[in-house]
């Protein structure tokens, strides 16, 4: 139950060469996680498995990459927006997340 809750809340972002990718919450049947470019009209994606091992990628963006400054701005506004709308990736859940990961498995 708790795990399900966590996985739904663990929607996060990845930055690859100044392009921003958003995690698709639903696991693929292969067990891979899909990441999509945050630009809706762009078809770039990548798939990862386990500890972020990339299994497949298509990084042909149809737009410019973000400058570092712009990226920073986007990340900040993104966090604020998510806090307001979905309450995802907030600090408390991250702390909770880290806490779980730090518990040694017996
Ligand atoms: Zn793109």
Residue recorded with tokens 């996680």? 33
pTM of the model: 0.57
Q: Separation of 45 CA from ligand 1 center, angstroms? A: 8
Q: Separation of 61 CA from ligand 1 center, angstroms? A: 4
Q: Separation of 3 CA from ligand 1 center, angstroms? A: 31
Give 64-70's long-range contacts (Cβ < 8 A, gap of 24+): 65/17, 65/18, 65/19, 66/18, 66/19, 66/20, 67/18, 68/18
Low-confidence ranges of the chain (pLDDT < 50): 1-10, 90, 93-99
Q: Separation of 41 CA from ligand 1 center, angstroms? A: 8
pLDDT of 85: 59
Q: Separation of 53 CA from ligand 1 center, angstroms? A: 20
**92, exposed or middle or buried, with CB in 10 Å at 0-12, 13-18, 19+?**
exposed
| Spatial distance between the Cα atoms of 90 and 41, rounded to a whole number of angstroms | 27
């Amino acid at each position: 139950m708790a795990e399900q809750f966590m996985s739904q809340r663990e929607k996060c972002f990845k930055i690859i060469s100044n392009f921003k990718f958003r995690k698709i919450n639903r696991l693929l049947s292969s067990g891979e996680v899909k990441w999509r470019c945050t630009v809706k009209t762009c078809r770039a994606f990548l798939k990862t498995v386990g500890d972020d091992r990339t299994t497949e990628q298509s990084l042909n963006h149809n737009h410019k990459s973000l400058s570092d400054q712009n990226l920073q701005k986007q990340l900040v506004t993104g966090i604020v927006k998510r806090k307001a709308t979905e309450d995802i990736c907030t600090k408390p859940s991250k702390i909770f997340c880290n806490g779980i990961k730090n518990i040694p498995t017996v």
